[in-house]
């Protein structure tokens, strides 16, 4: 090893704590990158493997003439497979508890060619087992359902609709329900209110749905997916069907939202850490170069090449950068595989793919080298340009002293005690170091606020959704149209203080050439079960002539207030189609109506449409009547319906009334009396006649809170990392601050100034720097957090940043405490100054 | 403010650094007394122990053994707080490299120390600077002062506490001859009224000519203790 190499090694050892602080920050930064980047790639690979293994549909077409659409799509080049099936939402009864169920028809003689299921326990459906079903894993796990277990499903048997006992043949995983979302508007479900069953196609057809209502399409691996989707969508829309791409599929969309978070994390947080590490290295190396100016001057005077000097000081940054990066890559890749495994286990992804990605160590080590090089280049450049004569002269302070800015702005401060003025001017003494400290505070606050902001946003938005917007304690789902009598019965249950009828219909909202499938929820006018807030935050009422829609709808379909949209009642279309399945299986039914957009609502979860019960009746009545009249004029729909119902010709009004009474998903929203027991209330309400399912809203909120456990751990880890980063940076800048002034501080000590007084001087100065950083830190932190959260927003979640004022306060306090702790080692060193030795050194 | 300079009494003072094979005895059984108002020069080659002697008397280093009394204060017996108080009240230091705070003006550098002893710090700082002929440089920062001026600010900083003992370590080491003479004249003047003792450490034997007394140190021992019968004025020194 060269002599300069030995010097560098000994310098690194002598200032080991400061270099370790830098090393730790670089390690954390690179580790965060490697862990989040690998997790992101691994999770994508895990989903892809599952999707490929199970032939996850590229396109799902619902409605229209299913069989005809399937035939046409099958003819298109690039389509690998097409399947038709029936999907209906019917109540399921497990352990005498009724929950919302999704019944999906499957062929009994073998897996379908699209949207297969993975058998985790038991076996696939068998032709001999006509009451055998497959249960999706999340639901099976929650209710302890194994092969051989039984449960009840609401099915049609002859003219009766009643719960029928079915037997579990197998527990399965499905690509469509890795995240068991009921719809894009209802992605946050829990197994105690929503479950998926894969049943024989015949059973699905008797579940209240049509014979076939869904086409699932799989593309060839090398097909032009975009062009195919465009072509099929055009055809399907023309046939009155709704199309959902794989990207829009609720489970996949939710998982992609989530996994994109890892993608975001893989550069945002590492960027913060590596910038902080760069600053800390920069400050430290500047100090080293400055304190070694005399030696550098001597070496240069003795003929050492300037580039050798530059290389020597660049070496410090590169050694720390590369060492930190290698450590970070190794730890990060280990963490990445652990996070992937924990994540896939937590949400039951069938496959866990952990791979080695060359790009991770390549980029991670490049980060380290870049940070080390960038942070060392300026100090090394400074060393390169040292003038030997000037450096060896020393003694006289360089630079001009002057009153601080604050003294110039506030002249009375010039008359404060000198020790105060000393702290004011100390800040401007080394502008680069002060700027580094301030920037460090800003970076630390950004990290803290971005992490804490996520926590606040999640908590505030959940509270907003479940406490301020959804006011009901429970939703009681009935298998018949909810009448006033039913509402009165519910209201009469002990412990219920309010009950209101409501309905939930799947609709397509179209404007110009764009459409969006969502749910239309109706309430009684002046409802006490739901509050509506305009994007500005003002509370608004349901419109008497029109609908309210979620704010994201502006961008989704380009609609504005006052515009008239076309509503397609998908649930009703399916029900009418099912009604006529035996007499006209290929009939295309379209029930549409116009509605005015009366306003927009700002809600955290989903992008729904709202309407009053009266307005819904008016819109729906018009839609049915117009559809039937239209049909009556040119087609045989009315005739078919009347024939099916055994009614007389020309009775169109009565017919539309009948259609409206079809078993829509109709609910009664309930509020409990103060202190009512959730379990007791659930029991009392599900005992009522006709109750198909029950949703405990508070329970949903609690379940979601507990589901956020992993998220809270992540936030906690980020906060700890943030504290470490802040500490490392401040420790270095503050240690350097004290080291640079050791001579004058020791002289003060020699003059009788106590160590405590000197410590207060230093603390005062450091606190001023910290406070100077806090102000912009809060602003930048808020802006970055806003941008960060908005990048998560979609029609599924509206993640506008919500931050409590206490977060700003606690974040600032945390930084102040970190600064105080970070200066403690420097102060301890000051107290241990060998005064006699230090006062004989030249000031630096 | 002290009424008169105390007697400095050393009795078998020893200072040892390190231990075992690396042990170095910087001071070996040093014993002498300095009377109030004396201007004493400690002369010796590098490593003779003169700076250590100054540091021990100034309580910025602790002796290994032996006695040291300054104006009746048992210096080795002082705790940390007592030593700080001692440095604050009894001694003033002047160093070779001035050690001024670069962000404070001449007056503020002096005032900073004046503030810790109470009273009208501003006025006292101006008075101290006037005594070193720097009244016209009050608001200048160190970078705007010459080396001699900076050393005079350092002297004013030491004098502003009005300490009975002034300890000066190579005060002219970084100065040219003329400036060095001015600084020495100031130091000599500061003990002229008999209220202050000055101990000046140097390796420059020429400076010994202006002292009342010269202590010669070699290898940690006081090898000679000369009284100068006819001190020469600082302005007449030459080296």
3 state SS of A84: strand
Inter-chain CB pairs, A–B, below 8 Å: 121
CB-CB under 8 Å, A429 with B103: yes
CB-CB under 8 Å, B104 with A422: yes
Res A396: pLDDT: 46
CA distance, residue B229 to nearest chain A CA (Å): 32
Res A579: pLDDT: 65
One-letter-per-residue 3-state SS of A257-279: HHHHHHHHHHHHHHHHHHHHHHH
CB-CB under 8 Å, B81 with A401: no
- In this complex, is the C-beta atom of B108 within 8 Å of any C-beta atom belonging to chain A? yes
Contact between A178 and A187 under an 8 Å Cβ cutoff? The reply is no
Q: A342 burial class (0-12, 13-18, 19+ CB within 10 angstroms)? A: middle
CB-CB under 8 Å, B99 with A835: no
Contact between A316 and A376 under an 8 Å Cβ cutoff? The reply is yes
Is B149 domain-assigned?
no
Contacts with A221 (C-beta within 8 Å, 6 or more apart), sequence order: A80
Query: Would you identify the CATH topology of the domain A57-85+214-245?
Result: Alpha-Beta Plaits (3.30.70)
CA distance A587 to A48: 37
User: Which of B89, B99, B111 comes nearest A418 by C-beta?
Assistant: B111
- Angle of CA points B130, B135, B136, to nearest 5°: 160
CB-CB under 8 Å, A401 with B102: yes
Is B166 domain-assigned?
no
CA distance, residue B87 to nearest chain A CA (Å): 5
Res A168: pLDDT: 96
Q: Which residue of B has its CA nearest to A742?
A: B99
Do you know the residue count of chain B? 239
A294, A392, A397: which to substitute to probe chain B, counting the most B Cβ within 10 Å? A397
Contact between B101 and B112 under an 8 Å Cβ cutoff? The reply is yes
CB-CB under 8 Å, A841 with B102: no
CB-CB under 8 Å, A422 with B100: no
- Angle of CA points B50, A752, B8, to nearest 5°: 45
CA distance, residue A44 to nearest chain B CA (Å): 58
- Hey, what are A29's tokens? 């930064």
- In this complex, is the C-beta atom of B58 within 8 Å of any C-beta atom belonging to chain A? yes
Which residues does chain A have within 8 Å of residue B157's beta carbon, measured at their own beta carbons? Answer: 751
Distance set, CA A549 to CA A32, A565, A802, B139 (Å): 40, 11, 22, 70
A 10 A CB-CB count for B62 gives 14
Please give the residue range of the domain that contains residue B239: 1-90+202-239
Domain positions in chain A:
1-56+258-394, 57-85+214-245, 87-209, 430-471+699-844, 480-689
Q: What's the pLDDT tens digit per position in A166-181?
A: 999 999 999 999 988 8
CB-CB under 8 Å, B105 with A752: no
Closest residue by Cα to residue A767 from A736, A813, A725: A813
- In this complex, is the C-beta atom of B51 within 8 Å of any C-beta atom belonging to chain A? yes
Res A635: pLDDT: 46
CA distance, residue A319 to nearest chain B CA (Å): 34
**A802 phi and psi angles, rounded to 5 deg:** -120, 125
Q: State the ipTM, two decimals.
A: 0.78
Q: A16 burial class (0-12, 13-18, 19+ CB within 10 angstroms)? A: exposed
Contact between A279 and A334 under an 8 Å Cβ cutoff? The reply is no
- Hey, what are B226's tokens? 């000369």
Q: What's the pLDDT tens digit per position in B116-130?
A: 877 788 999 999 999
Which residues does chain B have within 8 Å of residue A393's beta carbon, measured at their own beta carbons? Answer: none
What residues 156-175 of chain B have any CB closer than 8 A to a CB of chain A? 157-158, 161, 169, 174
- In this complex, is the C-beta atom of B95 within 8 Å of any C-beta atom belonging to chain A? yes
Is B131 domain-assigned?
no
CB-CB under 8 Å, A750 with B60: yes
Res A178: pLDDT: 92
Q: Which residue of A has its CA nearest to B54?
A: A836
Query: In this structure, what DSSP letter does residue A465 have?
Result: I
Contact between B6 and B90 under an 8 Å Cβ cutoff? The reply is yes
CB-CB under 8 Å, A757 with B87: no
Q: Which residue of A has its CA nearest to B108?
A: A418
CA distance A804 to A45: 37
What residues 116-155 of chain B have any CB closer than 8 A to a CB of chain A? 116-117, 121, 141-144, 147, 150
- Angle of CA points A237, A239, A240, to nearest 5°: 65
Which residues does chain B have within 8 Å of residue A744's beta carbon, measured at their own beta carbons? Answer: 99-102
Q: From the DSSP assignment, how many helices (H) and strands (E) are in chain A?
A: 27, 22
A290, A392, A393, A401: which to substitute to probe chain B, counting the most B Cβ within 10 Å? A401
Q: What's the pLDDT tens digit per position in A746-755?
A: 888 888 888 8
A 10 A CB-CB count for A130 gives 13
Res A158: pLDDT: 61
Res A395: pLDDT: 46
Contact between A697 and A473 under an 8 Å Cβ cutoff? The reply is yes
CB-CB under 8 Å, A396 with B150: yes
Which residues does chain A have within 8 Å of residue B85's beta carbon, measured at their own beta carbons? Answer: 752
3 state SS of A494: coil
Is B213 domain-assigned?
yes
A 10 A CB-CB count for A504 gives 21
A609-612 and A547-550 beta bridge pairing: antiparallel
Closest residue by Cα to residue A787 from A312, A406, A446, A435: A446
Q: Which residue of A has its CA nearest to B170?
A: A840
- Going across the sheet that includes A59-63, the strands are A79-85, A214-219, A59-63, A241-245
Res A843: pLDDT: 52
Q: Which residue of A has its CA nearest to B139?
A: A402
Number of domains comprising chain B: 1
CA distance, residue A415 to nearest chain B CA (Å): 10
CB-CB under 8 Å, A752 with B84: yes
- Hey, what are A536's tokens? 């500005």
Contact between A68 and A236 under an 8 Å Cβ cutoff? The reply is no
Q: What's the pLDDT tens digit per position in A14-32?
A: 888 888 888 888 898 889 8
The mean per-residue pLDDT over the stretch B165-193 comes to 85
Contact between B56 and B63 under an 8 Å Cβ cutoff? The reply is yes
Q: Which residue of A has its CA nearest to B106?
A: A401
Contact between B121 and A418 under an 8 Å Cβ cutoff? The reply is yes
CB-CB under 8 Å, A748 with B102: no
Contact between A220 and A78 under an 8 Å Cβ cutoff? The reply is yes
| B207-212, long-range: CB < 8 A, 24+ apart | B207/B41, B207/B43, B207/B172, B207/B237, B207/B239, B208/B41, B208/B43, B209/B237, B210/B39, B210/B41, B210/B184, B210/B234, B210/B237, B211/B39, B211/B40, B211/B41, B212/B38, B212/B39, B212/B40
User: Which of B51, B87, B100 comes nearest A750 by C-beta?
Assistant: B87
CATH code, B65: 3.40.50.300
Res A833: pLDDT: 82
The pLDDT-based confidence of B1 (bands split at 50, 70, 90) is: very low
What is the H or E stretch that residue A503 is in?
strand A496-511
Considering only residues A97 and B188, tell me which one the structure prediction assigns the higher pLDDT: B188
- In this complex, is the C-beta atom of B85 within 8 Å of any C-beta atom belonging to chain A? yes
* Largest pairwise CA distance in chain B: 54
CB-CB under 8 Å, A840 with B169: yes
CB-CB under 8 Å, B143 with A400: yes
Q: What are the helix (H) ranges across A561-673?
A: 570-579, 613-634, 637-645, 652-660
CA distance A667 to A694: 9
Which residues does chain B have within 8 Å of residue A754's beta carbon, measured at their own beta carbons? Answer: 81, 84
A 10 A CB-CB count for A268 gives 19
Res A583: pLDDT: 62
Contacts with A493 (C-beta within 8 Å, 6 or more apart), sequence order: A681, A684, A685, A688
CB-CB under 8 Å, B92 with A748: no
Res A577: pLDDT: 67
Which residues does chain B have within 8 Å of residue A757's beta carbon, measured at their own beta carbons? Answer: 116
What residue ranges of chain A have pLDDT lower than 50? 209, 395-397, 631-636, 663, 665, 844
Whether residue B132 has pLDDT greater than 50 = yes
A418, A761, A831: which to substitute to probe chain B, counting the most B Cβ within 10 Å? A418
B101, B107, B108: which to substitute to probe chain A, counting the most A Cβ within 10 Å? B101
CA distance, residue A838 to nearest chain B CA (Å): 10
User: Which of B60, B93, B102 comes nearest A397 by C-beta?
Assistant: B102
Considering only residues B178 and A534, tell me which one the structure prediction assigns the higher pLDDT: A534
CB-CB under 8 Å, A757 with B60: no
Percent of chain B with pLDDT over 90: 37
Distance set, CA B140 to CA A167, A383, A441, B143 (Å): 95, 30, 34, 8
CA distance B84 to B89: 9
Which residues does chain A have within 8 Å of residue B60's beta carbon, measured at their own beta carbons? Answer: 749-750, 835-836, 839
């Amino acid at each position: 090893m060269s002599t300069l190499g030995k010097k560098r090694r000994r310098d690194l050892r002598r200032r080991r704590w400061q270099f370790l602080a830098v090393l730790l920050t670089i390690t954390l930064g690179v580790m965060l990158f490697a862990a989040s980047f690998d997790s992101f790639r691994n999770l994508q690979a895990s989903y892809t493997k599952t999707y490929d293994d199970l032939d996850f549909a590229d396109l799902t077409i619902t409605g229209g003439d299913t069989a005809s659409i399937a035939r046409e799509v099958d003819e298109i080049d690039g389509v690998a497979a097409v399947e038709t099936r029936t999907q209906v939402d019917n109540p399921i009864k497990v352990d005498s508890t009724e929950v919302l169920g999704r019944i999906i028809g499957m062929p009994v003689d073998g897996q379908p060619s699209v949207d297969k299921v993975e058998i985790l326990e038991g076996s696939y459906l068998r032709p001999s087992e006509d009451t055998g079903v497959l249960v999706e894993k999340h639901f099976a796990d929650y209710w302890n359902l194994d092969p051989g277990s039984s449960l009840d499903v609401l099915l049609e048997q002859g003219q009766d609709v009643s719960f029928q006992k079915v037997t579990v043949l197998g527990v399965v995983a499905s690509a469509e329900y890795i995240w068991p979302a009921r719809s894009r508007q209802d992605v946050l479900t829990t197994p105690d209110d929503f479950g998926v069953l894969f049943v024989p196609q015949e059973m699905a057809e008797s579940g209240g749905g049509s014979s076939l209502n869904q086409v699932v399409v799989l593309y060839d691996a090398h097909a032009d997916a975009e062009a195919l989707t465009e072509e099929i969508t055009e055809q399907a829309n023309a046939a009155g069907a709704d199309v959902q791409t794989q990207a829009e599929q609720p489970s996949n969309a939710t998982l992609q939202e989530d996994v994109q978070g890892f993608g975001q994390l893989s550069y945002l947080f590492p960027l913060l850490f590596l910038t902080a590490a760069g600053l800390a290295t920069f400050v430290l190396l500047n100090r080293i170069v400055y304190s070694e100016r005399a030696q550098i001057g001597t070496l240069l005077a003795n003929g050492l090449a300037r580039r050798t000097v530059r290389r020597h000081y660049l070496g410090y940054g590169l050694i720390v950068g590369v060492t930190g990066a290698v450590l970070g890559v190794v730890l990060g890749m280990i963490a990445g595989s652990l996070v992937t495994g924990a994540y896939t286990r937590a949400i039951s992804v069938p496959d866990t793919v952990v791979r080695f990605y060359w790009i991770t160590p390549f980029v991670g080590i490049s980060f380290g080298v870049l940070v080390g090089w960038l942070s060392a280049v300026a100090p090394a450049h400074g060393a390169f340009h040292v003038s030997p004569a000037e450096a060896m002269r020393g003694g006289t302070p360089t630079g001009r002293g002057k009153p601080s800015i604050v003294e110039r702005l506030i002249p009375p401060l010039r008359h404060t005690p000198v020790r105060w003025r000393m702290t004011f001017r100390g800040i401007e003494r080394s502008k680069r170091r002060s700027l580094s400290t301030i920037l460090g505070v800003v970076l630390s606050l950004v990290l803290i606020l971005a992490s804490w902001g996520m926590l606040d946003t999640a908590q505030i938005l959940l509270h907003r959704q479940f406490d301020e917007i959804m006011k009901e304690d429970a939703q009681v789902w009935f298998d018949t149209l909810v009448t006033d009598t039913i509402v009165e019965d519910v209201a009469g249950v002990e412990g219920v203080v309010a009950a209101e009828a409501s309905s939930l219909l799947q609709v397509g909202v179209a404007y110009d050439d764009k459409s969006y499938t969502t749910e239309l929820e109706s309430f009684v006018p002046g409802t006490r079960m739901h509050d509506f807030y305009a994007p500005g935050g003002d509370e608004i009422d349901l419109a008497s002539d029109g609908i309210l829609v979620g704010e994201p709808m502006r961008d989704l379909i380009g609609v504005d207030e006052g515009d008239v949209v076309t509503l397609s009642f998908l649930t009703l279309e399916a029900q009418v189609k099912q009604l006529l399945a035996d007499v006209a299986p290929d009939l295309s039914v379209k029930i549409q109506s116009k509605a005015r957009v009366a306003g927009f609502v700002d809600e955290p979860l989903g992008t729904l449409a709202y309407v009053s019960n009266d307005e819904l009746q008016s819109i729906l009545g018009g839609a049915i009547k117009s559809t039937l009249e239209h049909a009556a004029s040119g087609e045989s729909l009315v005739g078919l319906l009347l024939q099916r119902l055994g009614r007389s010709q020309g009775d169109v009004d009565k017919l539309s009334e009948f259609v409206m009474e079809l078993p829509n998903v109709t609910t009664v929203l309930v509020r409990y009396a103060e202190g009512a027991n959730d379990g007791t209330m659930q029991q009392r309400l599900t005992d009522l006649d006709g109750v198909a399912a029950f949703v405990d809203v508070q329970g949903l909120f609690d379940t979601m809170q507990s589901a956020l456990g992993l998220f809270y751990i992540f936030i906690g880890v980020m906060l700890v990392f943030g504290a470490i980063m802040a500490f490392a940076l401040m420790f270095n800048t503050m240690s350097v601050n004290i080291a640079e002034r050791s001579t004058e501080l020791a002289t003060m000590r020699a003059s009788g100034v106590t160590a405590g007084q000197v410590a207060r001087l230093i603390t005062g100065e450091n606190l001023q720097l910290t406070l100077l950083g806090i102000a912009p830190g809060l602003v930048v932190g808020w802006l970055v957090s806003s941008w960060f959260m908005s990048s998560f927003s979609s029609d599924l979640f509206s993640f506008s940043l919500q931050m409590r004022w206490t977060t700003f306060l606690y974040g600032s306090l945390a930084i102040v405490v970190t600064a105080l702790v970070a200066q403690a080692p420097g102060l301890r060193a000051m107290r241990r100054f060998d005064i006699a030795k230090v006062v004989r050194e030249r000031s630096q | 403010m002290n009424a008169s300079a105390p007697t400095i009494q050393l009795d078998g003072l020893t200072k040892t650094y390190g231990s075992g094979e690396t042990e170095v005895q910087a001071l070996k059984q040093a014993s002498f007394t300095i009377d109030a108002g004396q201007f004493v020069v400690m002369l010796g080659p590098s490593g003779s122990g003169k700076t250590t002697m100054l540091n021990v008397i100034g309580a910025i280093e602790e002796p290994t053994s032996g006695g040291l009394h300054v104006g009746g204060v048992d210096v080795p017996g002082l705790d940390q707080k007592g030593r700080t108080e001692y440095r604050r009240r009894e001694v003033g230091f002047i160093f070779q490299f001035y050690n001024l705070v670069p962000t404070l003006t001449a007056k503020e550098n002096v005032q900073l120390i004046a503030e810790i002893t109470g009273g009208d710090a501003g006025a006292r700082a101006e008075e101290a600077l006037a005594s070193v002929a720097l009244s016209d440089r009050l608001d200048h920062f160190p970078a705007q002062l010459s080396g001699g001026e900076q050393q005079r600010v350092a002297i004013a900083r030491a004098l502003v506490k009005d300490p009975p003992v002034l300890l000066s370590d190579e005060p002219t080491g970084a100065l040219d001859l003329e400036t060095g003479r001015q600084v020495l004249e100031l130091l000599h003047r500061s003990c002229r009224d008999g209220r202050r003792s000055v101990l000046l450490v140097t390796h420059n034997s020429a400076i010994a000519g202006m002292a009342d007394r010269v202590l010669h140190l070699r290898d940690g021992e006081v090898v000679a203790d000369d009284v100068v019968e006819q001190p020469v004025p600082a302005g007449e020194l030459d080296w």
